Structure 1
Amino acid sequence: MIDKLESLRLIERRPHPTDRRAKQLVLTPEGVELRERLLKVLAEEPLFAGLTQNEQDALEGLLKRALSRNEALQA
């Protein structure tokens, strides 16, 4: 799966800054764009129809925070 995402240029592998054994997976600009589009679609899908608007907003905020934290760790 990682190889497929990499071949689609959605992610790239980078060396870990402190652990030479590990690689980090980082979203490319194309990957970031796709993630944003997916977040918008997910917010509109029936999957979330059972949630109140406040619950949807809270979930979106949590997902964005988690993704931002992941990006900060990758930098």
Structure 2
Amino acid sequence: MVDVTRVMESLAEQGVTVLFKTDAERMRDGTKPWTFVASGAPFRDDLLVRTDAVSVEACLEVCLPRLREYGLVIPD
């Protein structure tokens, strides 16, 4: 299991701002209520790494590999 706090702290130390949120309306509708957004200094041209998913884990499965592609160090 991924330690979300550790991942977020590591990204912040590398200049990345991370936002996790859950949307009550989408939760009631059963449609991808979780959102992950990462932005900040390591990205050029105001690039974001973002996804909407059914769970925190699903967000991480999509976004962590993309963040690694940008050269960021993500703890296991």
Give the TM-score, by structure 2 length.
0.29
Q: Which has the larger radius of gyration?
A: 1
Larger helix proportion of the pair: 1
Q: Which has the higher strand share?
A: 2
Q: TM-score, normalised by structure 1?
A: 0.29
